[in-house]
Amino acid sequence: MPQATFPLVQLDAYRWEIPVTAKPGMRVPGIIYADAGLVGQIQEDQAVEQLANTATLPGIVRRAIAMPDIHWGYGFPIGGVVAMRLDDGIVSPGGVGYDINCGVRLLSTGLADEEIRPHLGALADRLFRNVPSGVGARGRLRLNAAELPGVLQAGAGWAVRRGYGRAEDLRRIESAGAIPGARPEEVSRKALTRGLDQLGTLGSGNHFLEIQRVEEIYDPATAAAFGLRHPGQVTVLMHCGSRGLGHQVCDDYLEVAGRSLPRYGITLPDRQLACVPIASPEGRAYLGAMAAAANFAFANRQVITHWVRESFEDVLRRSAESIGLDLVYDVAHNMAKIEEHTVDGRSMQVCVHRKGATRGFPAGHPEVPEEYRDVGHPVLVPGDMGRYSYVLVGTAVALAETFGSTPHGAGRMRSRSEAKRLLRGVDVADALARRGILVRAVSRDLLAEEASEAYKDVADVVRASDGAGLTRSIARLQPLAVVKG
Amino acid sequence: MRTYETFDHTADVGLVIRGRTLEELFANAADALVDLTIDPAGLEEKIHKTITVSAADLEALLVAWLNELLYVLDADGFLPRRVRIANLNDTALTAELTGDTVDPNRHTVRRLVKAATYHGLSLSRTNGLWEARMILDL
């Protein structure tokens, strides 16, 4: 592919600036949080140019920001954070992405890894059966059209009221599992149709459900506050989003935005950046529909949590309560949120787009749930299925510099076809099994696309993020069994 | 002429689609999408559907066409084995589809494509051959 030739100006060991003069139309500079090693990889594809493109968008505040896991996406780069003024700024459906509120949820248990080793195969089988995934999967929960607006309005709360989960789960979800201001009436009939039988489904690609063990704890006091107490403790991590309902909302509003560009006098370097003024009927409609889709995703992860608990109960023949399976936290990493931030010493409301970035508010922030107010809420950063995932916490530095944003994952390093070429003849599931990691997958021969070799080492991403002061590492988790769509 | 091939994109998948006519290109694009999703050899020709799609221009129509097929996959579990573009102009098309309901027990399923995107989208004709490039979100 043609390489972007953007001159990056190194500000310090972990900060690289794209000068505002790098590309015509840039309104603000860009900044990439990475170390020298990661910057080399980042410059290999078109991610830097994509970040520069977002700096041309109307109403952008301070600068276009990229996390250390930045990579080439469509429109916005994955790992991009862009905040907009509410009065003259835009909201971009493509800047949130097709998988609205794609996110990660972590559960802790009171089990030790040696206790579940003998049951691991049965647990993986049961999870694989109980949580539908992959092409052609139908949810076990079939909603009727009259129920769906309630899901879109109340999110995880809808699921808990229907018996999927515990009341206390809601206290440990970003925005308590329901983004306010959802407008189901702005969600198209097609999007609603796609959602009817997809609640409680995982999807495919990089989505997963994983049984893990705590490998290492870096900050025992904060880890204990999160319910992570000792190496060997069993946890469960899931990664999924709003499924076809969210994809359709994005598609519908990209079309709306594309049509209305001339009316609002917006010109763009890439059609996928199509956007509308936040303070316009189209902008308000999109934010209402996006919130509805985000709530569908929160409900999705809540229903899956319930089935995870049932699966453990069935296999271990103990109550879920006695096993634990307590919600640690649930974070979104594809979202646009109206938040209060201090910019140039002044408090203002902005619309923060996080496209493959996690909110990481620190101790004391009013939007951190009460039980984590003293330490900051957990930031969940999954790695690839062969290595490890991290639990971090956000810092005051992130709040001041990145609108409280932190990384969201390892970031891909190789395309799917490169990964397959590299691993030709390797049975990825067998290779993982030899290392003690069980895999259950709908399309086993596509596992190479998601193998460790396709991803950056998430430890490098975390080291850069911690090094820049955006996050602090709390614990590292290791996969024991992985369910893939 | 290869009717379609993929090109490398770090996170997602790039598609190059070709056709001697625009109708052929649009039908080949549908085949490419199906091929990414499932092994098409397992699909029977037992359900017929007619779908109509419209968009602001020809390039957007290609995106809208593939996204409509993804909608039909979610809504009805349907994927086409055979596609005939009955009518096509710059802003609308009508397609006749013959295909099957996806059943993971009968079919070799591959991956879910989330959406066709507008990023890096192009559609042009050189030496009598139409070619389109696009990125799909996986």
Verify whether the Cβ–Cβ distance A72 to B9 is below 8 Å: yes
- The Cα B77–Cα B74 span in angstroms is 5
Find out if CATH 3.90.1860.10 is the number for domain A9-413+455-484.
yes
Chain B interface includes A333 (CB < 8 A): no
Q: What is the DSSP letter of B91?
A: S
Q: Where are the alpha helices (DSSP H) in chain B?
A: 22-37, 58-76
pTM of the predicted model as reported, rounded to 2 decimal places: 0.97
What confidence score (pLDDT) does residue B85 get?
Answer: 98
pLDDT, average across residues A268-295: 96
User: Using a CB-CB distance cutoff of 8 angstroms, which residues of chain B are in contact with residue A250?
Assistant: 115
- pLDDT of A104: 98
Instruction: Tell me, rounded to whole angstroms, the distance of Cα A408 from its chain centroid.
Output: 6
A385 is in an annotated binding site: yes
Q: Chain B residue closest to A207 (CA)?
A: B138
Mean per-residue pLDDT, A288-299: 98
- Backbone phi, psi, residue A69, to 5°: -95, 20
Was A411 annotated as part of a binding site? yes
Q: Which of A293, A359, A380, A238 is nearest to A97 (CA)?
A: A293
Residue A4, pLDDT > 70, answer no
Q: Say if the Cβ atoms of A271 and B112 lie within 8 Å.
A: no
When the pLDDT of each residue in chain A is averaged and rounded to a whole number, the result is 96
For testing the chain B interface, which of A70, A74, A201, A239 should be mutated: the one with the most B CBs within 10 Å? A74
- In tens, the pLDDT along B39-84 reads 999 999 999 999 999 999 999 999 999 999 999 999 999 999 999 9
pLDDT tens digits, A89-125: 999 999 999 999 999 999 999 999 999 999 999 999 9
Q: pLDDT band for B100, please (50, 70, 90 cuts).
A: very high
Say what the pLDDT of residue A1 is. Answer: 43
User: Is there a contact between A377 and A361 (Cβ–Cβ < 8 Å)?
Assistant: yes
Given A341, A353, A377, A408, which residue is catalytic?
A: A408
A376 touches chain B (CB under 8 A): no
Both tokens assigned to A115? 């206790």
Phi-psi label, residue A55: left if phi above 0, alpha if psi -120 to 50, beta otherwise = alpha
pLDDT at A2: 44
Q: Do B118 and A194 touch (CB under 8 A)?
A: no
Is the sign of the CA dihedral A237, A242, A247, A252 positive or negative? Answer: negative
Phi, psi of B58 (to 5 degrees): -65, -45
Q: How far is A354 from chain B (nearest CA, A)?
A: 17
A7: which DSSP letter?
P
Comparing alpha-carbon positions, the chain B residue that sits nearest to A47 is B10
CA distances from B31 to A132, B2, B41 (A): 26, 12, 11
Which chain A residue lies closest to B56 (C-alpha atoms)?
Answer: A259
Considering only residues 75 to 94 of chain A, which have any Cβ-Cβ distance to chain B shorter than 8 Å?
A: 75, 78, 94
Which of A78, A248, A271 lies nearest to residue B71, judging by beta carbons? A248
State which residue of chain A sits closest to B110, comparing Cα positions: A443
Which one of A251, A256, A259 would you mutate to disrupt binding with B, by most B Cβ within 10 Å of its Cβ? A251
- Say yes or no to pLDDT of A460 above 80: yes
- Where do we find the tokens 């306010």? A180
pLDDT digits (tens, 9 = 90+) for A324-369: 999 999 999 999 999 999 999 999 999 999 999 999 999 999 999 9
Mutate to test the interface with A, among B59, B114, B133 (most CBs of A within 10 A): B114
Give the pLDDT mean for B1-27: 91
The domain spans of chain A are: 9-413+455-484
d(CA A377, CA A369): 7
Task: Tell me the C-alpha distance between A426 and A428, whole Å.
Answer: 6
Helix (H) or strand (E) holding A1: none
Contact between B60 and A254 (Cβ < 8 Å): no
- Cβ–Cβ contact A45 with B under 8 A: yes
Sorted by sequence, the CB contacts under 8 Å of residue A72 that are 6+ apart come out as: A45, A46, A47, A50, A78, B9, B10, B11
Query: Over 90: is that where the pLDDT of B10 sits?
Result: no
Q: What pLDDT is stored for residue A443 in this prediction? A: 84
| Least reliable range by pLDDT among A248-257, A283-292, A384-393, A413-422 | A413-422
Interface of A with B in 149-188 (CB under 8 A): none
- Contacts with B121 from chain A: Cβ below 8 Å: 271
A408 is catalytic: yes
Is A334 annotated for ligand binding? yes
Residues of A with Cβ-Cβ distance to B103 under 8 angstroms? 136
Residue-wise pLDDT for B122-134, tens only, equals 999 999 999 999 9
Say if the Cβ atoms of B60 and A78 lie within 8 Å: no
CB contact under 8 A, A416 and B77: no
Length of chain A as a residue count: 485
Structural domains of chain B sorted by starting position, each given as residue range(s) with its CATH number in brackets: 13-137 (3.55.10.10)
Residue to mutate among A143, A247, A447, with most B CBs inside 10 A, is A247
Instruction: Give the Cα separation of B131 and B133 in Å (integer).
Output: 7
Report the chain B residue with the minimal C-alpha distance to residue A193.
B75
From the list A45, A250, A272, which residue is nearest B10 (CB)?
A: A45
pLDDT over 60 (residue A3)? no
Question: At residue A80, what is the residue type?
Answer: G
CB–CB of B109 and A134 under 8 A? yes
Is A384 annotated as belonging to a binding site? yes
- Residues of A within 8 A of B35 (CB-CB) are none
Tokens coding A17: 């600036």
CA distances from A223 to A31, A212, A232 (A): 30, 16, 14
- Facing A205 at nearest CB: one of B74, B111, B117: B111
For the cut 60, the answer to whether the pLDDT of residue A235 exceeds it is yes
pLDDT, tens digit (0-9, with 9 covering 90-100), for A8-58: 999 999 999 999 999 999 999 999 999 999 999 999 889 999 999 999 999
